[in-house]
Amino acid sequence: MLHALRIAVLILVTHSSFASDAVQCEPRGIPDDAWVPTSISAEEAMEFVPRRLLVMRSFWHSGSEALVIADPREAGDLFFLLAGNSTVGHACGFHWALVFEDASRKIVQHLHNKDCEAYRDFPDEIQERLHRYFRSVDDAPTHHLLDVEIDPAADPNAVAKLLERDGRLVFFLAPPDARFPRLSITQYEHGAISSSDDEEKEIEIQARTRAKIDSILALLASRERARVFEEPMQCLIGTGDGMYEYGMRATVVFPLSFDETRLKLYEQQLRPGSTIDFLNVEAPEEPWFERPVSYTLTLASPEPWSKELERSIRKASPAIRKVTVVESRRLDE
């Protein structure tokens, strides 16, 4: 209840006329259009209550050392500072990943660049706290990260419970549905770009493309028990000759027992519907099917990898196939 009230206060403050008096002043000299929302929205924060925080190296930084903040209040405080905040858009990559986890094992992540990250609200408090955490990872890590590959047919929650002993913690950095067979679907509409007054036409094409992909998703859901894994995303590909392809892509997952030869039944519906390949431009991807051979849990261990530790981990469940040290982790992989 207290957490919800604090988030509500954040929303009121940052959208009120006295916001500048309630939060630290934004860094000077940064134009308004340079700010972009953080990956944690104020609306999402109303429904997500962190129970712990994992601070780990990512992208440009390597190493298995990590910091786990097990105090829900401390994890929630940082979550509160980042939720609904803004950071300066950049293309510098990232050095650190902040992984917030709730009681259901759902995660919300935020990436940070140690050299060029700036925050609009609470900049000093956020930077001070993050730098303190990063120094702890470098100088006095609480945990060391291991990748534990398991049979995709195994229940990740059941395996996680077997692994979580002697101070070890498990994080689902990849959603559990990633272990299921999945299909990437793309649909395109071909059109001409003339001027900015074609907004109405563009909206119509977008709606038509969305209707096509929604009908495919509904068909696969009803006949093959498929469910959406990645929501439809839009893309616009210009061809350089005044023409374009408006596209939309989504990914669905199937039950483990799904027979991929059944996709031939939907060959007509799954065609991308693109003519861009006739315009000397790289053709859009055909429907792409993948059956994962494993699912990876991230284990945070108080002790670094050793042969004895690995043997102990492997004994926890026959579903465990491989244990490796996490040297670097990109959360989008």
Pick the most confident of 30-34, 37-41, 51-55, 247-251: 51-55
CATH class held by domain 181-290 = alpha beta
Give the sign of the dihedral formed by CA 59, CA 62, CA 63, CA 68.
negative
Higher pLDDT, 108 or 22: 108
Predicted pLDDT at 282 = 45
Chain segment 129-169, per-residue pLDDT in tens = 999 999 999 999 999 999 999 999 999 999 999 999 999 99
Could you give the CA distance from residue 186 to residue 260 in angstroms, rounded to a whole number? Answer: 17
- Least confident stretch, 19-28, 173-182, 278-287: 19-28
pLDDT at 12 over 60: no
Could you give the CA distance from residue 81 to residue 42 in angstroms, rounded to a whole number? Answer: 10
| Residue 327: band (very low, low, confident or very high) from pLDDT cuts 50, 70, 90 | confident
Of the CA atoms within 13 Å of residue 149, those in its CB half-sphere come to 9
In percent, the amount of the chain with pLDDT more than 90 equals 52
- Quickly list DSSP for 256-274: TT--GGGGGGGHHHHS---
Predicted pLDDT at 119 = 87
How is residue 236 written in tokens? Answer: 């616009």
* Residues 72 and 51 sit within 8 Å (Cβ to Cβ): yes
Could you give the CA distance from residue 38 to residue 218 in angstroms, rounded to a whole number? Answer: 32
Chain segment 74-86, per-residue pLDDT in tens = 999 999 999 988 8
Please, what is the Cα angle at 180 between 40 and 233, to 5 degrees? 45
Predicted pLDDT at 229 = 93
Mean pLDDT of 229-253: 74
Q: CB neighbours of 14 closer than 8 A, spacing ≥ 6?
A: 23, 42, 84, 121
Reading phi first (left if > 0) and then psi (alpha if -120 to 50, else beta), residue 122 is in left
pLDDT at 192 over 80: no
- Quickly list DSSP for 78-147: HHHHHTT-EEE---S--SEEEEEE-TTS-EEEEEE-TTT--BSSSHHHHHHHHHHHHHHHHHS-SEEEEE
Mean pLDDT of 102-124: 88
pLDDT at 15 over 80: no
pLDDT at 93 over 80: no
Chain segment 174-187, per-residue pLDDT in tens = 999 999 999 988 88
Predicted pLDDT at 91 = 57
Q: CB neighbours of 308 closer than 8 A, spacing ≥ 6?
A: none
Higher pLDDT, 251 or 91: 251
Mean per-residue pLDDT over the chain, rounded: 81
Q: For residue 52, give the nearest of 215, 170, 191, 132 by alpha carbon.
A: 170
What are the boundaries of each domain within the chain? 2-141, 181-290
For the whole model, what pTM was predicted? 0.79
Higher pLDDT, 225 or 44: 225
